[in-house]
Amino acid sequence: MEARVRFDVITLFPDHFPNLMALGVVGRALNKGIFELHCWNPRDFTEDVHRTVDDRPYGGGPGMVMLAEPLVKTLEAVRQVRGTSDAAPLVFLTPHGPLLTQTHIRGMTTQYPQGCIFLCGRYEGVDQRFIDNYVDQTYCLGDFVLSGGELPVACLLDAWVRLLPGVLNHSESAAQDSFEPEGLGKGLLDCPHYTRPEVFENNTVPDVLLSGNHAKIAGWRFEKSKEFTKRYRPDLLKKGLDN
């Protein structure tokens, strides 16, 4: 089966990154060839004996900064393999980008059906000149700090892959998720879910879910989505209801 989407990841840990994508529905999709994953190590594009990819920051201060030149050479190698007709953007997860949302990821799946190239930052950061000249899009996973870009990129890829045809067992599974702009909730949190047994520790499943009345069930789920969103994420409520 020919892969639908190709992801190229520039990372200093090319042997470990695929392990982040090997489990669950994403791992099965990778094994089925629904998408391709290729990792590129900037150390392979250095010319010194130490395979140096970082140096001290100008102006002083703690930490090291990723060098621009190995990253440029790595990106050039990636684009050569992908071909000149491939317009895949270089995406960088950084605190300087907008907060990544499900709407952004939905947009990527349609705007870039051929996939994307991702840069995993490390150390104190990446030489700003590389970012200015080569990075096409930036996003921020959240208001917290991680040791590197591998986990954020893996999160983004997980969210992207599960939207691809044939990845989830049910075609409507993704549309019912929290934050999903295409689903019933229009960006709200998902409703609560229940399964067997009907009674657990003296708590029963809501009667409406046992009624078999699909219209009432849909209405109950929407109301519960609004209730949960108001309780836990009121910032999402107005935006979701406007939709």
Which residues are annotated as catalytic? 95, 124, 162, 177
H or E element that contains 65: strand 65-66
CA atoms within 13 A on the CB side of 201: 0
Phi/psi of residue 95, nearest 5 degrees: -60, -15
CA separation for the pair 176, 142 (Å, rounded): 23
CA separation for the pair 10, 240 (Å, rounded): 35
Tell the residue number behind the tokens 């930490």, with chain if given: 63
Residue 139 CA: distances (Å) to CA of 1, 153, 182, 234: 32, 10, 21, 23
Phi/psi of residue 179, nearest 5 degrees: 70, -5
For 147-208, strand residue ranges (E) read 199-200, 203-204
Closest Cα partner for 84 from 114, 110, 107? 114
Amino acid found at 28: R
DSSP 3-state assignment of 12?
Answer: coil
Tell the residue number behind the tokens 């699909």, with chain if given: 214
Q: Give me the sign of the Cα torsion angle 30, 20, 192, 200.
A: positive
